[in-house]
Structure 1
Amino acid sequence: MAKKKLALHETLEVHEVLTLKQSCLVKSYALQSLAEDDTLRMILDNDVTSSEKAIKELQEVLSN
C-alpha cells in the first residue's frame, strides 16, 4: 500500500486524539495505585496497556 501524506486538518485531528489518549493514560495510570478493588485495578491495567498501544500507533501515523 502506498503511503500518502496526511492533509493538515487530518494531522491536527490525529494530534488531538493523541493528546486525549495521553491524558487518559496518565489518569488511568494514576488511578491504578488508588484502586482498592481488584476488578477495577484490572480494568485500569487493561486501559493503560491499550492506551500505550494506541499512542504508539498514532505516533506512527504522525511520523509518516
Structure 2
Amino acid sequence: MENGNLAPNETMQVHEMLNLKTVCMTTSKMMEGVVFDQELKGLLEKDVQQSITAIKDLQNLLEKAPKLR
C-alpha cells in the first residue's frame, strides 16, 4: 500500500472482514429481539453500534481498492 492503494490480496482480505463483521452485526441485531436479560441486551446493542462503526471504516478503506476497468 505504498502508493495509497490496496493490493489485490489486501482488497480481498478487507472484503472478508467486511462480510464477517456484517454477519456478526446482523446476528447481534436479531438476537436483541429474543433476549430478555437487560444486561445481555445492552451488550448486544453495544456490539451492533461498534459493528456499524467498523463496517463504515472498512467501507472507507475499500475506497482505496484498485478499480477494475
TM range (shorter): over 0.9
Supply the AA of the counterpart residue of 1:4. Answer: G
Bigger relative CO (Cα 8 Å, ≥ 6 apart): 2
Q: Which runs of 5+ in 2 are unaligned?
A: 65-69
Supply the AA of the counterpart residue of 2:21. Answer: K
What's 2:6 paired with? 6
CA RMSD of aligned residues (A): 1.3
- Deviations 1:24-49, CA, capped at 9 Å, x for gaps: 01000000011100000000000000
Q: State the TM-score, normalized to the length of structure 1.
A: 0.94
Query: What displacement does 1:3 show?
Result: 6.2
Query: What displacement does 1:63 show?
Result: 1.1
Q: Which has the larger radius of gyration?
A: 2
Structure 1 runs of 4+ aligned residues shifted over 2 Å read none
Q: State the TM-score, normalized to the length of structure 2.
A: 0.87
Identity of aligned residues (%): 38
